[in-house]
Amino acid sequence: MKTVRFLVVGLILASFNACASTSTLKPRNYEQVRLQDEANEFYNAWRDKNSEKIWQLSSPFFKEANDSKEEWIKYSDRFLRSMDFLDYSNLKVIYLERKLAVTQADISLTLKKEGNFSTCERIIWLRFPEGWRFEEPSHSCDYMPDADRIKTLTQKIP
């Protein structure tokens, strides 16, 4: 009976250790999931024509580079009204470091006057205490920031 109890306790401890080691994701994996969630929110906000949400997901540097929140939302709303449809697929993280990441997705877009477009898009994201925020959307899929650009983008991040 003691052998069975010892075996059961040993199995429970082994299971506990296995669960503990798998539930503690490596920081890179956790950040990758977190970034993919933010990127999904970004594309869903475009699809839902939610300029306010898109603004919330932008980096402080992106916000500083624009005239004002109101002007950016006004311009963005005008573009979104010209859009009939937006869909995205194959979203993936292609570069991930502590302060900067790059996502890639296939975009399908229908504009009322111009028609249908499909493209591959990369977005540069910066990591802030509140989460990942986009800094440079709409890059083509052959773009990758070089070391100097990464340094420039990340040097002011806390």
10 inside domain = no
| Containing structural domain, residue 75 | 27-154
pLDDT, greater one: 62 or 8: 62
Please determine, for residue 72, whether its predicted confidence score (pLDDT) is greater than 90: yes
Q: What separation, in Å, do the N-terminal and C-terminal C-alpha atoms of the chain show? A: 59
11 inside domain = no
- Point out the least confidently predicted range of 29-33, 39-43, 96-100, 134-138: 29-33
Q: Which of 131, 140, 125, 155 is nearest to 62 (CA)?
A: 125
81 inside domain = yes
Please determine, for residue 13, whether its predicted confidence score (pLDDT) is greater than 80: no
Tally of structural domains, the chain: 1
Q: Residue 75 corresponds to which tokens in the numbers above?
A: 């311009």
- The contacts of residue 106 (CB under 8 Å, 6+ apart) are 88, 89, 90, 118, 119, 120, 121
- The contacts of residue 91 (CB under 8 Å, 6+ apart) are 36, 39, 40, 43, 103, 104, 105
- Cα–Cα distance between 31 and 155 in angstroms, integer? 20
Q: What is the pLDDT of residues 32-69, one digit of tens each?
A: 999 999 999 999 999 999 999 999 999 999 999 998 99
127 inside domain = yes
- The contacts of residue 86 (CB under 8 Å, 6+ apart) are 43, 46, 47, 107, 108, 109, 110
Q: What CATH number is attached to the domain comprising 118?
A: 3.10.450.100
Q: Is 89 helix (H, G, I), strand (E, B) or coil?
A: strand
103 inside domain = yes
pLDDT at residue number 67:
82
- Point out the least confidently predicted range of 26-40, 75-89, 115-129: 26-40
**pTM higher than 0.75 for the full model?**
yes
